[in-house]
Amino acid sequence: MRDVAIIGTGVTKFGELWYRSFRDIGIEAGLKAVADSGLAGNEIDGMYIGNMSAGRFINQQHIDALIADYSGMATNHVSCTRVEAGEASGAVAFKEGVMAVASGLQDFVVVAGAEKMTDIDDASITSILDDTADAEWEASMGLTLASLHAMIAKRMIHDGMATREEIASVSVNSHAHGALNPNAQYRKAIELKTVLNSGAVATPLGMFDCAPNSDGAAAVVLCPLERAKEFTDSYVKVASLAQTSDTLALFQRNSITSFAATVEAGKMAYARAGITPADISVAEIHDNFSVSGILALQDLGFYEKGKAGKAFLDGEVTLGGGKLTVNTSGGLKARGHPVGATGVAHIAEITDQLRNRADKRQVKDAKYGLAQSVGGTGSAVVVSILEAI
């Protein structure tokens, strides 16, 4: 197996992009990544597209052919594969692209993620997202992703693993960084009281505990590590990655205050990279709900149970606050959460951090970065570790 490098990144603005089409934002991200890589477009021999639900969001299936066509790759007969894994779609697409290059099947691969969510009403968006849980035994009974995560939050508070203030502070952290990201949907820092006093969504979670509905796209370009210098002096190594799964329904788990799939994916990724959580300087984690941020830091081994919330509340994981900096992009909460694009956007942010290209949100001297993406309520998880070269 060959080592794999990321040699280019491209990210669009995230937000309610009513004046932009799905194909428009997807192609923008891809072209930016290719231009950044130093490759000529005709050298690309594979594309992998993370997209959760274009069939319902924009009434368009066959996304792989759409992207191949409008990127100009169809005339070269380049293979293009659409990947779906709930909110982890982009991260699984990245895994597939890495595997293609590592195996020698392909040499130059574009991995992109895109979603256009806001062309339909909020109730329809919520219904689509809720179906990433168990549609028959959870969503059909009235359970939503918000209410499922509210159950997790209530249990964590009951068990003394977090306070309401600590859970809310995850959103404060994301907004602090989102204010520094020109592509973020919400570029404004917020106070803890803003989260605590926001309108209820599913008690104890309020409006500011929940990631927004978003449009946007992100892309990265991969090649064999041994060839990266032919195209750019600024690249990173894919040190390791791991994908795991768990039951689709939350009620089938032995515990709801830990995502076992994240625990196992983290262990596998650390072992394959030959490092420990202490070696990670910057992490992009899946904070679709504020409580998810606490789950992630504990499940990934950065903090013991009951300690991650305090780290958020004390600003320990905010830029300049400690050894580990979390969600420098603004996370799903502030950067935005176009579900098919999120996993690739995580990879793009970590790559730019390790290339020292993150401007005002740059983490100093970062050697290793981690990205975690979650589909459903922990039923699909991808953990990727990147290394600065």
User: Rounded to whole angstroms, how far apart are CA atoms 372 and 381?
Assistant: 7
Summarize the chain as % helix, strand, coil (round to 5): 40, 20, 40
Can you say whether the dihedral through the CA atoms of 287, 293, 298, 300 is positive or negative? positive
Q: What is the DSSP letter of 21?
A: -
Give CA separation, 54 vs 58, 120, 248, in Å. 5, 11, 21
Looking at residue 100, its pLDDT comes to: 98
User: Rounded to whole angstroms, how far apart are CA atoms 252 and 239?
Assistant: 33
In order of start, what are the domains of the chain with their CATH numbers? Answer: 4-121+214-236 (3.40.47.10), 128-212+238-388 (3.40.47.10)
Of all residues in the chain, what percent carry a pLDDT higher than 70?
100
What is the chain's mean pLDDT, rounded? Answer: 96
Number of Cβ within 10 Å of residue 182's Cβ equals 9
pLDDT reading at 135 higher than 80: yes
| Per-residue model confidence as pLDDT tens digits over 220-251 | 999 999 999 999 999 999 999 999 999 999 99
Number of Cβ within 10 Å of residue 352's Cβ equals 23
Sheet holding 46-50, edge to edge: 79-83, 46-50, 109-116, 215-224, 4-11, 236-245, 380-388, 368-375, 280-284, 325-326
User: Rounded to whole angstroms, how far apart are CA atoms 348 and 201?
Assistant: 31
| Per-residue model confidence as pLDDT tens digits over 23-44 | 999 999 999 999 999 998 789 9
pLDDT category at 275 given cuts 50, 70, 90 is very high
Work out the average pLDDT over 95-106: 98
| Per-residue model confidence as pLDDT tens digits over 318-339 | 999 999 999 999 999 999 999 9
Q: 3-class DSSP state for residue 233?
A: coil
Looking at residue 377, its pLDDT comes to: 97
Looking at residue 74, its pLDDT comes to: 81
pLDDT category at 175 given cuts 50, 70, 90 is very high
pLDDT category at 72 given cuts 50, 70, 90 is confident
User: Rounded to whole angstroms, how far apart are CA atoms 291 and 165?
Assistant: 11
Work out the average pLDDT over 161-182: 98
Tokens of residue 375, six digits: 């589909």
Looking at residue 76, its pLDDT comes to: 83
User: Rounded to whole angstroms, how far apart are CA atoms 373 and 87?
Assistant: 7
Q: 3-class DSSP state for residue 200?
A: strand
Under a CB-based contact definition with an 8 Å cutoff, are residues 346 and 165 in contact? no
Beta-strand pair 4-11/215-224: antiparallel
Work out the average pLDDT over 251-271: 97
Looking at residue 41, its pLDDT comes to: 75
pLDDT category at 61 given cuts 50, 70, 90 is very high
- Range of lowest pLDDT (39-43, 45-49, 302-306): 39-43
